[in-house]
Structure 1
């Protein structure tokens, strides 16, 4: 059995998870990473994606996050999400609204930096849509 650590997933609306976990896979902006007990201290930004939490005992829960950051220490991990929801609670309409808004931001972008950022976010949302929603 893997050693456990304290994991918390917090959004502005609520505390979604506060539990002992064996592993947490997070969608960091530099690439997906797995956090385990005694992880080296790291702070990273989060892109839209799925957080997979393996709780003590082996149960796996999945949450969709829309950006934020994670503070990782040897004794625990706190993920502060801009927005988060359990994967079972997400719906097509919400993802479609976010994609439409991102497309509008892309169309309204006036400089290279804004356009690049909007393209990146739209790509992340589209990938997320394909990963969590059946066709």
Structure 2
């Protein structure tokens, strides 16, 4: 049985990145990863850095990198207000790889209780999430 679709809006500070009907999406909120389909219980949560994975009404999969923000779920409408939202084609892979190297160097130079250590971990997670979106998108095109 085909899923009933719902409307999804992904909006960042620079504008709308996605607006359309989808069958499902997966995103990581403050309580962990969640899957959302039509009729989901209303929900408001903070988004963790990572990606939103969606399946549109034509069964086409898409990934969008998200860096923070808020997710609001209503039974037939979902809105993501992201601090940063990027499609795989908009991610500079070389910069993300360089950010990983820089963050790893920072981690080597600071103790685990240091605020610089926490900042480096955050930067590392951000860069790794960007590369993951690029990798998934590249593999899907093959």
Same fold (TM over 0.5): yes
Q: SS state of the match for residue 4, structure 2?
A: coil
**Shift in Å at residue 23 of structure 1?**
0.3
Aligned length: 134
Q: Considering only CA atoms, is the larger Rg found in Structure 1 or Structure 2?
A: 2
Matches within 5 A, 1:1-135: 1-96=2-97, 99=100, 114=115, 117-118=118-119, 120-129=121-130, 131-134=132-135
Separation in structure 1 between the aligned mates of residue 81 and residue 51 of structure 2, nearest angstrom: 14
**114-123 vs 40-49, greater mean Cα deviation:** 114-123
Separation in structure 2 between the aligned mates of residue 113 and residue 30 of structure 1, nearest angstrom: 25
Identify unmatched segments of 5+ residues in structure 1. Answer: none
Separation in structure 2 between the aligned mates of residue 132 and residue 91 of structure 1, nearest angstrom: 11
Deviating above 3 A after TM superposition, structure 1's stretches of 4 or more consecutive aligned residues are 96-107, 112-117
The change in CA–CA distance for 1:2 and 1:87 in structure 2 (over 3 A counts) is same
What TM-score, normalized to structure 1? 0.78
Separation in structure 1 between the aligned mates of residue 118 and residue 74 of structure 2, nearest angstrom: 29
